[in-house]
Structure 1
Amino acid sequence: MHKDQMLTRRRALLAGATVLGAAGATGTARLLTADPPARPVRSVAAAAGPQAGVPPKPSAFRLRPMTGYSPPRGGPARTAVRGRPILRLSGRGTSMVLTFDDGPDPRYTPAILRTLREYDVRAVFFVCGEMAVDHKDLLREMADDGHVVGNHTWTHPLLTRLPRSRIRYEMERTCEVIADAYGEPPLWFRAPYGAWNRAAFQLGAELGMEPFAWTVDSFDWATPGTPTIVRRVEGNAAPGVIVLSHDAGGDRSQSVQALREYLPYLRDSGYHLTVPRRRST
């Protein structure tokens, strides 16, 4: 099955895409001003992933919101072109962000949404267009629950291997699906495998999106076991951390169970799990 093959292809490009992701994600873009972390954050390198696929088929404990400015909707915002993605949030207090990539998948995304709802948490879902187009109901559920939906391209290709025209197509088509199903165009973009290039930054800005990476990779994509995922998230929890997890692209049952285990820990530890609000540019 195409969706389940994503995990196998992801492992195939582990070494190459990790290097590309690390190179493209050097430095930190600030959204807020920060208190120092309560404990050191052990950041990990960007995850690797599958090789660029064939041309896309026609369908194939919110606790406290972050302060900041959200630009008016109705079209792409005027966005500055960054030279690096946002890797972590800096701000007062103990805010963290949970993110989920590659979905939505009807086998796992609903369970993640139920858990987030149970703890009154908001998260960011970076969706792939080819998945979202067939599961618009899940994007509407995300909108109803107050989650943020970001753009993760249409087919999850390695952008550094694509011409500019194809990157634009991958972004634009996914923006259209999100705007239609979620009700608003996306303000955030995440490059597959964390592999960024100049075209991705420029085209994302043209479409009104900020580049959003991560601080901590849970490595759930490698299905290392629920206890390992939980240890990685809890062990790297700190103010400003952005956690990468997945709700599609393979068997995500471990990701679902891990969320149910580490979410109460993060809440009880005083972390404010929230979503980003962009300042004016």
Structure 2
Amino acid sequence: MSLVSGRAWRTAAALLPVGVAAAHIGPAATWLPGLRLRFCPGLSGTGRPDHVALTFDDGPDPESTPRFLDALDDLGTRATFFVLGERLVRDPGLARETVARGHELAVHGWTHDRPWRPAPARDSAEIARTVRAVRDVTGRRPQWYRPPYGILTSGRWAAARRAGLRTVLWSAWGEDWTSDATAASVRARVAADLRGGGTVLLHDTDRHSAPGCWHSALGALPAIVRRCQDAGLTVGPLADHLHPAGPARPGAVLPAGEG
């Protein structure tokens, strides 16, 4: 081996871990809402322009999730709940009740961990395990996947595809996980990006966020739904929202107003 080829080999070997890490975490750039909506509308959950998809993450939680189910019943609205497998198997009755009340369950992962290190085998096993848990508990196979924290990696994207799931993030969120969130702040934050065809992210639990913050999301929920309805939009789960043939064009931003 020549001196030049030896140096080239050592350089390539040194850069290999960097390349692997970049390939692993590169898709996480889609966490940026502006970039995602412009270049990956399907990943943003852009769907029917006359509809808004309502989604909740991190449950089920026996303390808070039933409050959201009751509020949604009062509003005559259905939603998609992205559940954690470890939470689901602890309270299968609540998962079954959620489905019985007209909502759909989707996959948020088995646990709520951050995927900084590549672990494709673990990702595949845990996503498949959560799919099986949803199916076994509810009798229905989930269709959608959203990674914890919205951090999408190449391994998790591939694992979701192998499990037959479509990855969906969001186009509007309430930032309802913070300690200083209020019903008013959640309403305002959602309203800033809400439009026909959009997907809204809220949380039905505080298990992985500031204690008690779910009260803010619950307090904001009626105004968010009414604002959509006043604009002539229907609100419902992702199953009623996304086009099988691909993403639709986003609708117009809703007019400014309270809530």
* Counterpart in the other structure of 1:16: none
Query: Counterparts of 1:84 and 1:201 in 2: how far apart (Å)?
Result: 16
1:151-209 residue CA offsets vs partner (Å, 9 max, x unmatched):
00111112342411111222122112111222112111001111112211211111110
The alpha-carbon distance between structure 1 residues 157 and 21, as it changes in their structure 2 partners (threshold 3 A), is farther
* Counterpart in the other structure of 1:101: 57
Q: Is the 8 A contact 1:45 1:217 kept in 2?
A: no
* Counterpart in the other structure of 1:164: 120
* Counterpart in the other structure of 1:260: 222
SS in 1 for 2:131: helix
* Counterpart in the other structure of 1:185: 141
Counterpart residue identity of residue 24, structure 1: T
Pick from 187, 196, 202: which aligns with 1:239?
196
The alpha-carbon distance between structure 1 residues 264 and 240, as it changes in their structure 2 partners (threshold 3 A), is same
* Counterpart in the other structure of 2:234: 272
The alpha-carbon distance between structure 1 residues 149 and 107, as it changes in their structure 2 partners (threshold 3 A), is same
Per-residue deviation, 1:101: 0.2
1:73-100 residue CA offsets vs partner (Å, 9 max, x unmatched):
xxxxxxxxxx996203243x42101110
Pick from 59, 76, 81: which aligns with 1:120?
76
Query: Counterparts of 1:84 and 1:236 in 2: how far apart (Å)?
Result: 14
Q: For structure 1, which segment, 145-154 or 267-276, has the greater mean C-alpha deviation from structure 2 after superposition?
A: 267-276
Per-residue deviation, 1:267: 2.0
Q: Is the 8 A contact 2:171 2:194 kept in 1?
A: no
Query: Counterparts of 1:21 and 1:145 in 2: how far apart (Å)?
Result: 35
Unaligned runs of 5+ in 2: 1-24, 247-259
Pick from 97, 109, 114: which aligns with 1:141?
97
* Counterpart in the other structure of 2:20: none
1:94-143 residue CA offsets vs partner (Å, 9 max, x unmatched):
21011100001111110111111112211110001111111111211121
Query: Counterparts of 1:85 and 1:200 in 2: how far apart (Å)?
Result: 17
The structure carrying a bigger helix percent of its residues is 2
Q: Is the 8 A contact 1:20 1:195 kept in 2?
A: no
The alpha-carbon distance between structure 1 residues 273 and 226, as it changes in their structure 2 partners (threshold 3 A), is same
Counterpart residue identity of residue 244, structure 2: R
In the TM superposition, structure 1's runs of 4+ consecutive aligned residues that sit over 3 Å from their partners are 19-22, 43-46
Matched residues, number: 210
Q: Is the 8 A contact 2:144 2:168 kept in 1?
A: yes
The alpha-carbon distance between structure 1 residues 20 and 273, as it changes in their structure 2 partners (threshold 3 A), is farther
* Counterpart in the other structure of 1:73: none
TM-score, normalised to structure 1, is 0.68
Counterpart residue identity of residue 221, structure 1: W
Q: Is the 8 A contact 1:24 1:84 kept in 2?
A: no
1:45-99 residue CA offsets vs partner (Å, 9 max, x unmatched):
99xxxxxxxxxxxxxxxxxxxxxxxxxxxxxxxxxxxx996203243x4210111
Identity %: 29
